[in-house]
Structure 1
Amino acid sequence: MNKPRLGTQRYTFRPFEDESHLECLCRLQLRGRDVGAYLLKQRRQYSLVFGFCSPGVHTLLPAGQAEQTLKRLEEGLKGFRPGDRLRIHLRSFGGDRDRQQALESQIQGSGQLESQFLLLAQQRATRELTESQQRQPKQLYLFATTPLEAGEEKRADFTEKLLAWVVAQYDAFKGLKEQQEQQSYIQLLTHGFTEGYLHWEQQLNDRMGLQVTPMGVEQLWQYLWSQFNSTTAPPVPQCLELSDAEGKAELSETIHEPLHTVSRLIRGEQGQPRSPQADRQWVQVNQKFVGAVVLESKPAGFTTPEHQLYYLWRALSQFPDCEFVCELAAAERLMTRVTLQRLTKQSVTATFRANLLRDVDVASQMRLKQGVEAQEKIYEGALPIWVSVVALIHRDSPESLAEACQKLTHAFHQGDFIRETEIAWQLWLRSLPIVAGWLLEDGRKQLYLTNEAPGLMPVSCTRTIDLRGIELITRAGQMPVYLDFVHQHRGMLIFGETRSGKSVLASEIFVWAIANGMNVISLDYPKPDGTTTYTDLVKFFGDQGAYFDIGSESNNLFQIPDLRGLPETQRQEWLDDYKEFLVKALDTMVMGTETDNQLGKRVHTVLWQALAAFFESPKLLARYEAAFEGGFGSAAWQRMPTLVDFVEIVAQLDLEVESALLNEAVATILLELRGWLSSRVGRAISQPSTIRTDARLTVFALRNVGDNIEAAVLALSAQSMAFRRALEVSDSLLAIDESPILFKYNGIAQIIGQVCANGAKSGIRPLIIGQDPDTIAQSVAGSQILQNLNTRFIGAIQPNALPSYQRLFGYNPEVLRPNTDESFRITPGRLCSHWLVDADSRLTPCSHYPSPELLGAVANNPKEQAARRRVLAQQPNKFAGYSAFAKAYVQALQNGQLLDEIALDGPSLGEFEPLTQLSETADESIPVHQNGHAHSAYSRRSS
């Protein structure tokens, strides 16, 4: 019996550090700029790689702009110099760290438990969207490479090289070697900044119009760190810094740890190694399998400018966790022209020989035509560009990776994208900005002209509206976009048919405003039972919510802002602003809309003098002071001056002038104001306020309104509260729900028109909610309202509404046509509503994903209210109750269960942690289910 011999195999392993060419990271603080760069060294060739971030080209441009954008990109490509290389990375990866940190900051800064609860629910909803790949942030990076000389000119022959070596040895002998090396690096980096960075900044910004911002050292390090690790990046290990702050370039080095930057990248974290594992078909990095798909042949052509501009975006938007990398470099122009001429001559010869043989050489004729067209483009100014395109797909397993690669190759109808099955690891490695050399080898690069290459540049990406604010998810690409109405003044419109999700989106806006310290005042037309869309949301906010009904509540029109904490000069200035508002309100109460005649002018004058006397009365001022000291609801509060006191001041007013018109003005004021004091609306505004002055959410129910003047006075009452709160503490949000009904009252329309036009001065953001814009446009202040509200949310609409949007806003009907499709409407299986967002003249189709807790708080039909009361009765506190109701509510709608069956038998729906622990254990404290949609919460009555 012979024992089989074991074969021997020899393996060669190379450390990953040897695959990288990174010398160090550099900070260049020159000419008032602070930019970062990678310093690479391949053999003896140095190069600097500058990084830029860009918002990209928006994916829904107005007609004609796509062609202009392509022309700008073409002009930028013509500015490439020999040796320049630009690499574009369009990345789409699920991650919510920034959003979670922003929400956590809001939670920590909010003093209301109700706001914290809903923000924690939003954190959970955001995390679940990310984990289900329905939320994919996009980033567009550009890395520009500039080749450098090694501090000295290249030696042409052996003698010069020998002399340079002798000089170097002599300097080393004299101890000048370190000084010479330092001077060499200063020259190297200075040259790279002036000849490299400044050139690329001009190319990308001025010529291409990509609005790039340079990446600093920390951003470049964070970019590298995220390629290999999932935690927050530590400080930059080593950084070479060049600064001219003192008027002279000085070089310094900052070292946080001795380990080389690349070694630090792959050292590992949490006990797990981070070194990439290579295979022929994939590379495993950062716990993901990465495959490569390469563009191997040219697309046949582009049918429209939009087709060319969005060629790669339309594929990327369909695939989560992937990245498109495009490398562009200038080709040798003379050789390209000579080669084209040679190919054209060969095609002419082949065609001639075929004619002699009475044959037709179709291939030669096609090559001849293409060669002639290419030469025509070159003579017209086009230049040759080398283009390499690689798509990198990240998945959890080789099987899912193979499936995704296959789908991606089938997503392109033109051009052959083929999966790389031999050197996928090498393509991933070359895509890193710390690896010098070409992305693809010479045999695989594609030669394009500058008018063709923009179609393969992945610069199209949905642009976010703001950097923070409420979050929506784009329908194409699932990219989160933010809308900030807190730090920017935005007037907002929400349009959509019944059951399109208007009230839920408005509630999201309310919650975000309250969490940021704003006060929300909503005017609504109530249902027959006296409740409005947001009655249940007001109840959820408890002491922070207030409900104003003219039959049972009052809002003192003469309640001035509490300005005791302000300096005297600012206090007087803001008090004068409120006096102006009071005069406007009293003018409306006395004269209605007839304020331009002689009597109206005299009334206006008398009111000003009466107000001056009113606020100069020591007794009245003392009552104000005592009321604010005593606080809301105290005995002193009940003695706060009101309209009744003002009427007495008018009756005792001595104008020291005898005039029939003045006497008529005084008599008119007394008659009208006393008439108001005897009416229900007048009593509601002429008694001490019974709604909490510190409430963050106040709903005005405008029911039983008799005429336009009463409607205007109630609108003024709501505006007074918004104005007071804006002067006292912070800005306010004034919402108008049921606008088709409320705008039938000219008084309300005029007041809202004034808020839309001048609200920014007083810190009031208007929000108008309605089914269509026609009712608003036809109101007396229609143009004033529509022209000053610059942010619009347009939900599901009927096809016959398209002409109205085209006439009033100039929208192309084809852009709004998806809003009329059945897929734009809400279905019970999805927890979202769909919107076309128009902000800053940029259109973005989005979806709104509210948390189930918010839906549970807004749900207000009788069956929903009854089910919620049953659930709340079984829980230890209201927050546990709302969490339990949200869970049962979604499950009932998902399973087709009747709402009457929720908590009918009385068993507990689960134990919930107290709210004090929610901020520490957000994952366990709010049970939220992503599949399922609270259809009834969206299904309000006609709004």
Structure 2
Amino acid sequence: MPKKLGIEKLVFKPFENESALECFCRLQLPDEEIGVLLLREGDRYCLRFGFRFAGIHPLMSPEQVEAVLRRLEAGLRGLPQGESLRIHFRSFADDSVRQQELEELAQATTIPELQFLLFSEQRAIRELTEQGLRQPKDILLFVTYTLEPGKAHTHDQIERIIAWFVEHYEALKGRKEQLEELRYHHILTQGFKAGYLHWKQQLTIRMGLNVVPMTADELWGVVWSQFNHSQPPLIPQCLTLRGGDRGDDWTLSEEINDPFHATTVAIRGERGDRSTPKGDREWAYVKDKFVGVMTFDSKPAGFVSHEHQLYYLWQAASQFEDCEFVFELSRADEHATRASLQLLTRQNLTLTERAQNKNNLDVVAQLKAQGGAEAQAKIWEGAAPILVAGVVLVRRSSPQALDEACQKLSNCFNNGELNREREIAWKIWLQTLPITWHRLLDGRRQLYFTDEAAGLMPLACTATIDQRGLELIARDGMMPFYIDFVRQHRSMMIIGQTRAGKSAIGAGIFAIALAYGFNVVGLDYAREDGTTTMTDLINSFGEAGAWFDVGTSSNNLFEMPDLRHLTPEQQDSRRNSYLAFLVRALEVMVLGAHSDRRLGKRIHAILWKALTSFFNDAEIQSRYDAAYDQGFGSLAWQRMPTLIDFLDLLERLDLSGLVVVGSIAEAMAEIRLQLLSWVQSPVGKAIAQPSTVRSNAQITMYGMRNLTNDDEAAVLALSAQALALRRALECSDSLLVIDESSVLYKYDGISQIIGQICATGGKAGIRTLVISQDPDAIYNSAAGQQILQNLNTRFIGAIQSTAVESCCRIFGYDRSVLLPNTDESFLPDRSRLCSHWLVDVDGRLQYGDYYPSPELLAAVANNIPEQQARSRVMAQYSNKFEGWAVFAEQYSAAIRAGQSLQQLGQSPLSLGYPASNAVVHDSATHTAA
């Protein structure tokens, strides 16, 4: 007989049914915006507020760790009954934010060489992300406030019936919409006053967490990113409650950007594919990844120290990419907990007594009775019982890779603590979403006390210093962190032994500064052939770079900044700033180390009057205007006023109205004598002639050589300061770099000028970068303490063991902090092309690795074999960027393999680039063209 076909019924549930999201809400205060997820289940409403938290820094002293734990315990005791605190620790290999920043910088710059370096950094970051060496992390906190606005607060049946009739009668009168508006108005105002304010106090004041409330757009971005890769669209629907200046006069409004519900929009899909997640017993499939679920099913055996407790989860979470730790904490009922403990204690005491009557010993019953008694004692002493649910979501591209990752993560904990969920993984994954109502692992939560639960809060994370700038990768956790000296005024210092990677990280700072429109001016001690550490880097920038050599170049000290594009008020202010600098510079040239205070005051007064008269002269001003109109190198530029013109004015200066104590003639004679002597010296000629350094160069390096005394060194330092100050006053910030400072700081003049810039340069927009091998040389210089006190950001690389004592004495570090820097493993890693650093920003310490792109590393390669290899390779290509890219590829490969550079460039090689390199090469070449 033919086989009979049966009929199988399948029931499909829309994913929207799993969501309890009513809508997004926005609480708009005069000085703050607060986002809210409004959830609904029947007549019950839940407001879920979100907060961002930077993390508890993993590098703290034992005293700081103990204080943090005490604050967390105090905050847990204040958890409101019936509400929950959910913590999401997320670690995803995502570089989209950094890529977008670099793309914007590359498109904005007009320097093709800089664009080439930015494109190469984009590729390098992408490679680090794909290799799992770059893992951005963030921490989100979600708190709840639940209420039932339509529930009659009475136990009388008749009163409930009357309330029901009143509500429906108002609806029949056509006031349904008004009632709904009043209901939402009440929910949001009550949620803000009784919910948000209470939680904000618990998190910030009692727990000491520096949390930032998430806006409605950020909450929508979190929900959208659960299902999609792209940037989120506008919020589909949003209720906005605006409050007055005094927290009253609340008004409610509605914004609709899409007719479909937010959950439907989130799973609608992108690029033609739907984003609806797929469920399975062992995993959920979402965003092209298999998501495995692991649960904490037993309590840790114990914590051996405060550090172990605070960093218990961080030690495992920091090493895994594409995972999310989700922990939910809620207050347990103290009366029920106390009753359960009493019952447990009595039962085990009974078992113990019964065993004793039989001349036996029940060890398990004794231990349970003792544990029950200790738990009751904790409650009486003030500890609160906390219910904790812990889940880890692991994302991988295949079920096999997911199994391996889950097993590896499980091995990081004691046997049985963290287990794979293979039956209801889909359901638990749904519970972790912020748009669902269900509690996490409801019915399977573990009971802790406040002194234990703090160890189950995944709050430890490498704290982000800034949001953008120079990027390093934290050694502990592989999380990128940034040093932003553009928006934050940071004066920086790089310390390290020879071949510690100082030039590479310094060049990285140069590139970021140039990308943000800074002008970079540097002082470096030149070798006998006139080159310095940065010569090759400056040359690689082509027209954007300029070199100043005392014997062949000049920088007109009297070249005023071009301020004609500013308002008259701004012109006066900035002209006076440069005038004050000129007075100070001329005083240094005239007085030198002279200590006669009376003579100094007379000279100061004369210089002020002379310079004021000089710049108010109509002919002088017309020569400046003509020079700026015709531009650098023109005939008018050669006639720009200089120190020599100022000396001519001194001959006919009228000082009759000047009132000073002492002989004016003596002071005037001293000024003329000293300035004339400077004009006749090589250093003086370099500052007393029209500038030969291109005014449009964005990076200029001074090669300091053939200096005979402190006065000459000071004057050259003043020349560099003048260039930086001119750039800054022309509406552009400047970065002043002092390389080989161990040599340069033996000149007191340079030390004093740099000390003054470090202390007051911020007003003129000048940041300082000091690069040195020996901090003692700076500390013992004339203005050493002034310099070091104002360098608030330090990069300390590999150092000799003999330098540890100096760094501890000068910077106040504990010896144990610097010991890793003396280990051989702290030297640059040739296989990964990265250097290691201890970063100190305003006293916050962080170990990090700096990964320069191969192209940047090739540009700063400066020893003789490296220079020769670069010249051989570059000579084979007519296109500068093509040769640069080829040398970078060959050079980095040779460094990784530990091979000699002698073979580089001996025979032309094909490029053989991957697609990403081709994009970099084509873009940079096109820009250059």
TM range (shorter): over 0.9
Distance change >3 Å, CA 160–CA 504, structure 1 → 2: same
* Correspondence for 1:847 among 849, 852, 856: 849
Matches of 2:715 and 2:99, distance apart in 1: 43
TM alignment of 1:588-603, pairs within 5 A: 588-603=588-603
Q: Deviations over 1:382-427 (max 9, x none)?
A: 1111111111111111111111111111112487111112111111
TM alignment of 1:313-712, pairs within 5 A: 313-413=314-414, 416-442=417-443, 444-656=444-656, 661-712=663-714
| 1:888 lines up with 2:887 in the alignment | no
Report if the CA contact (8 A) 1:29-1:35 is conserved.
Answer: yes
Q: In the alignment, what sits opposite 1:941?
A: none
Aligned amino acid, residue 45 of structure 1: R
Report if the CA contact (8 A) 1:151-1:185 is conserved.
Answer: no
Matches of 1:543 and 1:925, distance apart in 2: 17
Distance change >3 Å, CA 803–CA 896, structure 1 → 2: closer
Aligned amino acid, residue 485 of structure 1: F
Matches of 2:817 and 2:348, distance apart in 1: 46
Aligned amino acid, residue 256 of structure 2: I
Distance change >3 Å, CA 262–CA 609, structure 1 → 2: closer
Matches of 2:728 and 2:5, distance apart in 1: 85
State the 1:454 CA deviation.
0.9
Matches of 2:12 and 2:913, distance apart in 1: 55
Report if the CA contact (8 A) 2:326-2:432 is conserved.
Answer: yes
Q: In the alignment, what sits opposite 2:284?
A: 283
Q: In the alignment, what sits opposite 2:798?
A: 796
Report if the CA contact (8 A) 2:54-2:211 is conserved.
Answer: yes
Moved more, 540-549 or 239-248: 239-248
Q: In the alignment, what sits opposite 1:757?
A: 759
Q: Deviations over 1:515-541 (max 9, x none)?
A: 111110110011222111111111111
Q: Deviations over 1:876-896 (max 9, x none)?
A: 421222122212222233344
Matches of 1:59 and 1:273, distance apart in 2: 40
State the 1:357 CA deviation.
4.3
Report if the CA contact (8 A) 1:913-1:925 is conserved.
Answer: no
Report if the CA contact (8 A) 2:294-2:393 is conserved.
Answer: yes
Determine helix, strand or coil for the equivalent of 2:285. strand
Matches of 1:405 and 1:430, distance apart in 2: 19
Determine helix, strand or coil for the equivalent of 2:141. strand
* Correspondence for 1:771 among 767, 770, 773: 773
Distance change >3 Å, CA 868–CA 446, structure 1 → 2: same
- With the length of structure 2 as denominator, give the TM-score of the two structures: 0.95
TM alignment of 1:89-168, pairs within 5 A: 89-153=88-152, 156=155, 158-168=157-167
Moved more, 308-317 or 900-909: 900-909
Report if the CA contact (8 A) 1:587-1:595 is conserved.
Answer: no
Q: In the alignment, what sits opposite 2:22?
A: 23
TM alignment of 1:237-316, pairs within 5 A: 237-244=236-243, 248-316=249-317
TM alignment of 1:855-874, pairs within 5 A: 855-874=857-876
Q: Deviations over 1:612-647 (max 9, x none)?
A: 343343333332222222221111211222222223
Matches of 2:254 and 2:781, distance apart in 1: 67
State the 1:235 CA deviation.
1.7
Determine helix, strand or coil for the equivalent of 2:559. coil
Report if the CA contact (8 A) 2:639-2:690 is conserved.
Answer: yes
Determine helix, strand or coil for the equivalent of 1:228. coil
Report if the CA contact (8 A) 1:308-1:455 is conserved.
Answer: yes
Distance change >3 Å, CA 596–CA 120, structure 1 → 2: farther
Matches of 2:675 and 2:392, distance apart in 1: 74
- The runs of 5 or more residues in structure 2 that have no matched partner are none
Q: Deviations over 1:143-163 (max 9, x none)?
A: 111111042325636544443
- The runs of 5 or more residues in structure 1 that have no matched partner are 927-943
Matches of 2:917 and 2:562, distance apart in 1: 32
Matches of 1:919 and 1:110, distance apart in 2: 16
Aligned amino acid, residue 297 of structure 2: E
Q: In the alignment, what sits opposite 1:784?
A: 786
Q: Deviations over 1:111-152 (max 9, x none)?
A: 222222211111111222222222111111111111110423
State the 1:862 CA deviation.
2.8
Report if the CA contact (8 A) 2:79-2:331 is conserved.
Answer: yes
Q: Deviations over 1:556-598 (max 9, x none)?
A: 1122212222233332322222222122222222221224433
| 1:13 lines up with 2:15 in the alignment | no
Matches of 2:10 and 2:44, distance apart in 1: 30
State the 1:919 CA deviation.
10
Q: Deviations over 1:840-865 (max 9, x none)?
A: 22111111111111112222223323
Distance change >3 Å, CA 41–CA 751, structure 1 → 2: same
Matches of 2:371 and 2:799, distance apart in 1: 48
Moved more, 114-123 or 690-699: 114-123
TM alignment of 1:926-937, pairs within 5 A: none
State the 1:795 CA deviation.
0.9
Q: Deviations over 1:146-203 (max 9, x none)?
A: 1110423256365444434433443343323333233223223322222212211221
Moved more, 845-854 or 238-247: 238-247
Distance change >3 Å, CA 245–CA 582, structure 1 → 2: closer
Matches of 1:916 and 1:516, distance apart in 2: 25
Matches of 1:105 and 1:286, distance apart in 2: 27
Report if the CA contact (8 A) 1:295-1:417 is conserved.
Answer: yes
Q: In the alignment, what sits opposite 1:938?
A: none
| 1:806 lines up with 2:808 in the alignment | yes
Q: In the alignment, what sits opposite 2:44?
A: 45
Report if the CA contact (8 A) 2:291-2:393 is conserved.
Answer: yes
- When the two chains are superposed, the root-mean-square deviation of aligned CA atoms in Å is 2.6
Matches of 1:332 and 1:801, distance apart in 2: 58
Distance change >3 Å, CA 907–CA 421, structure 1 → 2: closer
Q: In the alignment, what sits opposite 1:58?
A: 57
Distance change >3 Å, CA 32–CA 871, structure 1 → 2: closer
State the 1:341 CA deviation.
2.6
Q: In the alignment, what sits opposite 2:187?
A: 188
Matches of 2:243 and 2:579, distance apart in 1: 56
Matches of 2:201 and 2:863, distance apart in 1: 59
| 1:216 lines up with 2:218 in the alignment | no
Matches of 1:721 and 1:916, distance apart in 2: 38
* Correspondence for 1:837 among 818, 836, 839: 839
Moved more, 374-383 or 729-738: 374-383
Matches of 1:585 and 1:145, distance apart in 2: 63
Determine helix, strand or coil for the equivalent of 1:463. coil
- With the length of structure 1 as denominator, give the TM-score of the two structures: 0.93
Aligned amino acid, residue 710 of structure 1: E
Matches of 1:266 and 1:395, distance apart in 2: 20
Moved more, 158-167 or 147-156: 158-167
State the 1:250 CA deviation.
4.1
Aligned amino acid, residue 491 of structure 1: S
Aligned amino acid, residue 564 of structure 1: R
State the 1:106 CA deviation.
1.3
Report if the CA contact (8 A) 1:150-1:184 is conserved.
Answer: yes
Q: How many residues in Structure 1 have an aligned counterpart in Structure 2? A: 923
Aligned amino acid, residue 853 of structure 2: S
Report if the CA contact (8 A) 1:72-1:209 is conserved.
Answer: yes
Instruction: Give aligned-pair identity as a percent.
Output: 53
Matches of 1:806 and 1:355, distance apart in 2: 63
Q: Deviations over 1:821-854 (max 9, x none)?
A: 2222113211211111111221111111111111
State the 1:230 CA deviation.
0.7
Report if the CA contact (8 A) 1:880-1:912 is conserved.
Answer: no
Determine helix, strand or coil for the equivalent of 1:75. helix
Report if the CA contact (8 A) 1:85-1:327 is conserved.
Answer: yes
Distance change >3 Å, CA 371–CA 628, structure 1 → 2: same
Matches of 1:921 and 1:98, distance apart in 2: 21
